Amino acid sequence: MTPARRLSVLGVVAALAGTLTAVPATAQPSAATRPPGAVPAGLRAATPPKVPVATGYGGAVASVDADASAAGIEVLRKGGNAVDAAVATAAALGVTEPYSAGVGGGGYFVSYDAKSRTVRTLDGRETAPLSADSGLFLENGKPIPAAEAITSGLSVGTPGTPATWDTALDRWGTRSLREVLKPAQKLARDGFTVDATFRAQTAANEARFRDFPASARLFLPGGELPVVGSTLKNPDLARTYEELGDQGVDTLYHGKLGKDVLRTVQHPPVRPGAERKVRPGDLTEKDLGEYEVRSQAPTKTRYRGLDVYGMAPSSSGGTSIAEALNILERGDLSKLSEKDYLHRYIEASRIAFADRGRWVGDPEFEDVPTRGLTSQRFADSRACLIKDDAVLTSPLAPGDPWDPQPCEAGGRAAPTTYEGENTTHLTVADKWGNVVAYTLTIEQTGGSGIVVPGRGFLLNNELTDFSFAPADPAVHDPNLPGPGKRPRSSMSPTVVLQGGRPVLALGSPGGATIITTVLQSLLNHLDRGMPLVDAIAAPRASQRNAAATELEPGLWDSPVRAQLEAIGHRFTRNPEIGAATGVQRLPDGRWLAAAEKVRRGGGSAMVVRPGR
């Protein structure tokens, strides 16, 4: 039985059995098959089982981690709503997925309110210091080395995650921040079980972590990589959560926690004798004190009679997915061969990314044509570029959403800039029908690599999502740094409604591949008829206005690759793209939670009361 099949079966069994309690491992791998650094199963700490799909009543949670999903379920069981549970899940991910998200980062929160049948969003993206300008990452007129930007105080933006939690709970939640942080606080204090993914991510960051004593102390216990199956505790983060619960988020934006963050950014605590060049940042008390979460209207488009809501700029996720869906709606994807379906999906993605790169930035600084980018008129003007027997050339030039011209292919093309790939996404629903799709991040895997001493969390390096310099000096780049500006993101928390009621919600990590992951998962489910968990598990292709499209092994090794290459497509192999989660409202009133079967070690889908 394949790992994917085994996980799928386990998901069904767990859903039918109605258990979310921890179970001890009964099969102990031999020394030959045990993962590197593993300890015998009998020594592993108890943890909830990971299953990729669950159905039942009372609400649902899907995330990449079983402990985090269980934290959300605990809040739902105690009468909290989807917003309360989303914050609890996110806080727990700050413990078990600290290289992807946490107090030191930011994100985008999309919430559906069942009572008013409306979708609301919060932009909790990090912001550049007020002292920043377009030359933030330039030295002598040239971009500084990427490694020096990634691991630095220079790349740290004002964190938006605590403010997002506080704002969401204050406006739409039913529980206090103190209450919803308790499961994560306990998890940080008591510890979580290290898995192979966590160990591998730690190994990838080992050299960086060793240059920062606080990072090494937390993530390299005893000076060594954490052992698979061991328990990793984070008492500093437990105390930080307790402080946030007792004092509120003002401790970050106006108080003691903020002072600790600023000290770390301005004077990175590098190990004596380290050879790494670690540049200081320029965050100040004013930057923290003036930070605000933005409330804004979601993007919206109609697709196959459904209303698809997403995150508006500063994220490019909502506009890009809406444009691609609008491009594809004129054809019936359900009747196409796999080759023809993938061809159209790839070309629509290519076009959407060409337009994203030219037009999307922080709307407080840039005149972003959000309405034009999401209009059917603009999509139609771009869709006619797609030919069934030929492939568009990248980098493709953008169109003009202010003045759409049919099949316009003029203008100057610009390549897609780099965007960090390690983020996390969670999706929650409650018994009242409220839904949350929440994507949060610290950017790079491991963020800046710098743990705030005594605080137990990594600082983001989110400002590296800005363009260091214009991709083309002759074309305006809407994603250059600026004072208090938010870098462009690809995070794509998405909610789909029919007649004002939820059909499904989903999202993914993966940097710029988030957009294509969410888009392809939607198409797999809505057009190709795959169950949601299978739509998420299906092998992915990601085209981002590049010369070659990235393929996961399932497509790379498939005959369809040669069929697509025959009409001009070029491909590169990517072992893993994204790690989506979603929830779906079933016709009989149950919720279905879906997560990855294999990617990132598999995800965790849970419901409050499992049932057929």
Residues designated catalytic: 423
**For residue 270, with 0-12 CB atoms within 10 Å meaning exposed, 13-18 middle and 19 or more buried, which class applies?**
middle
What is the DSSP track for 529-578? Answer: ---HHHHHHS--EE-SSSSSEEE-HHHHTSHHHHHHHTTT--EEE-S---
Cβ atoms of 178 and 78 closer than 8 Å: no
Indicate the pairing of strand 435-441 with strand 494-498. unpaired
Indicate the pairing of strand 423-430 with strand 435-441. antiparallel
Closest CA to 584 of 541, 521, 528: 521
Query: What phi and psi, each to the nearest 5 degrees, are found at residue 403?
Result: -145, 75
Structure token pair of residue 590: 């149950």
Count CB neighbours of 279 within 10 A. 15
Cβ atoms of 321 and 309 closer than 8 Å: no
Give the dihedral sign, CA 478/480/486/488. positive
Indicate the pairing of strand 549-551 with strand 571-573. parallel
Can you state the angle between helices 82-96 and 177-190, rounded to 10 degrees?
A: 30
CA separation for the pair 606, 51 (Å, rounded): 8
